[in-house]
Amino acid sequence: MATIRARKGKKGRTTYLVQIRLIGRPSISKTFERKTDAKEWAARTESEMRRSHALGGRRTVAAAIDHYRAHQLGSLSPLHIEKRERQLAWWEERIGRLHLEDLGPSQIREHLRTLEGRKVATLNRYRAAISAVLSFVVEEEWLTANPLHGRRRRHRPLAEREEERDREVTSEELDRLLASCQKCDDTRLYALVVCAHACGARQSEILGMEWRRLELRPVVFDPVTRERRRGVPRCEIVDTKNGTSRVLYFPGEAGRLLSEMRASAAFSRFVFARPGDGPDQVPTFPDHAFRYWRDKAGLSDVRFHDLRHTWACEMLDSGATLAQLMILGGWKTAAMVRRYAARAQRHGSDAAEARHLEMQRAARSR
């Protein structure tokens, strides 16, 4: 089952590549500088794989999912537990009876094809849910390796890729949307739209805001005047999509609305809790109401997440750099803000032109 191959590098250095294959499972490989180490690792890993093979035959995917629920699911934020639970129930219904040793990428792909018509991001989340279970049982020594890991992703042709959504809400459309949302019986809807446009947060991040982390009248130090002044209302959020905390800012109308809500806050630690929600119950988004009043405004193609894209564009128009946008918007990698590079370049050229004129004036004065 194990093969050891000697490989000579460009500098004449010899290394030993060990490959272990098991039918229905991804191959495992590792490189060593000494052949003795390679043989020892191969023998030890083969033994572990045989033991895992025997154990896996007595454990099903459903048992692995239950084990994950009991010991790992609770480590996620409350906003993500409900979604992950729904995805796990979907997998349990379809492949719960399969033995772990019989599960491979082909079964996962076949079941994901039944979700055709869904967005690529949705399919990735379902795949990530079962992959998280498999990775966890690997740590628990139920499996030697996650069968979904160790395989290169196929490079999708342009025709199969999902187009990026870059819907920017114009000022006129935003006014229509806000005017329509003000008519909703759920007063949270208008405040949610205003705050989303003001801070550029994701829907789950706004709903997860807590009163104890909200500063409505912060005091900041002005390095120019060297005086203390009132700052922009802000709120630290810890349950974010990428797992890192950050601060949301609420200038103008958003800060005023939050102050009014604070004066009549319900008995809940969450800012956007509904009347009747428990003190620790995570609020839900009024999705039906948003779609209804959005359609009434004649903006059926607008989504709540488009407010985040609009905020990012307006921040760049105000002079923010891509690095600042990345920090304020909570993007984890530069690739996520790359779509705004053209806009930042356009506004950055204005600064270059201004500097060019300034240098010309300086040259003439000399």
Tell me: the pLDDT tens digits for 142-151?
887 888 886 5
Q: What is the pLDDT of residue 287?
A: 93
- Render pLDDT for 76-108 as a digit per residue (tens, 0 to 9): 877 788 889 999 999 999 999 998 878 888 889
pLDDT range class, residue 51, cuts 50, 70, 90:
low
Distance CA 167, CA 181 (A): 19
The pLDDT value recorded for residue 20 is 81
Residue 346 has a pLDDT of: 64
If pLDDT is split at 50, 70 and 90, which confidence band does 12 have? confident
Q: What are phi and psi of 145, to 5 degrees?
A: -150, 155
User: How many Cβ atoms from other residues are within 10 Å of residue 275's Cβ?
Assistant: 9
Q: What pLDDT does residue 82 have?
A: 84
- Ramachandran angles phi, psi of 167, nearest 5°: -85, 110
Split at pLDDT 50, 70, 90, the class of 50 is: low
- Mean pLDDT confidence for 337-355: 66
Both tokens of 54, joined, read 């025997």
- Are 64 and 100 within 8 A, CB to CB? yes
Taken in order of first residue, the domains within the chain and their CATH numbers are: 2-56 (no CATH), 61-150 (1.10.150), 171-332 (1.10.443.10)
Model pLDDT, residue 222 = 78
Backbone angles phi, psi at 323, to 5 degrees: -65, -45
Cα gap 213→209, rounded to integer Å: 8
Q: Answer whether residue 290 shows pLDDT above 50.
A: yes
At residue 56, the pLDDT reads 47
What average pLDDT score do residues 166-172 get? 89
Identify which has the larger pLDDT, 261 or 12: 261
Return the pLDDT at 158.
46
What's the pLDDT tens digit per position in 151-167? 555 555 544 555 666 78
120-131 pLDDT, tens digit each:
888 999 999 999
DSSP E strand stretches across the chain? 2-8, 14-20, 28-32, 214-215, 219-222, 227-230, 234-237, 246-249
For 211-259, what is each residue's pLDDT tens digit?
999 999 888 887 777 888 888 999 999 877 777 889 999 999 999 999 9
pLDDT at 159: 47
pLDDT for position 94: 93
What value does the mean pLDDT of the chain take? 84
Of the candidates 324, 187, 333, the residue with the CA atom closest to the CA atom of residue 247: 324
pLDDT at 150: 62
Distance CA 288, CA 268 (A): 23
Alpha carbon distance 365, 359 (integer Å): 10
Q: Give φ, ψ of 49 to 5 degrees.
A: -70, -40
Per-residue pLDDT band at 362 (split at 50, 70, 90): confident
Buried b / exposed e over 184-207, threshold 16 CB at 10 Å, is bebebbbbbbbbbbbbbbbbbbbb
For 51-60, 62-71, 322-331, which range has the lowest pLDDT when averaged over its residues? 51-60
Residues 6+ apart with CB under 8 A from 275: 266
Q: What's the confidence (pLDDT) of residue 181?
A: 96
Go through 213-250 and write b for each residue having 16 or more CB atoms within 10 A of its CB, e for each that does not: bbeeeeeeeeeeeeeeeeebbbbebebbeeeeebbbbb
Query: What is the distance of C-alpha 343 from the center of its chain?
Result: 23
Which pLDDT score, from 0 to 100, does residue 203 have? 92
Task: For residue 68, name the pLDDT band (cuts at 50, 70, 90).
Answer: very high
How far apart (Å, rounded) are the C-alpha atoms in residues 310 and 129?
31
Residue 250, Cα to own-chain centre: how many angstroms? 22
pLDDT of residue 173: 95
pLDDT at 338: 80
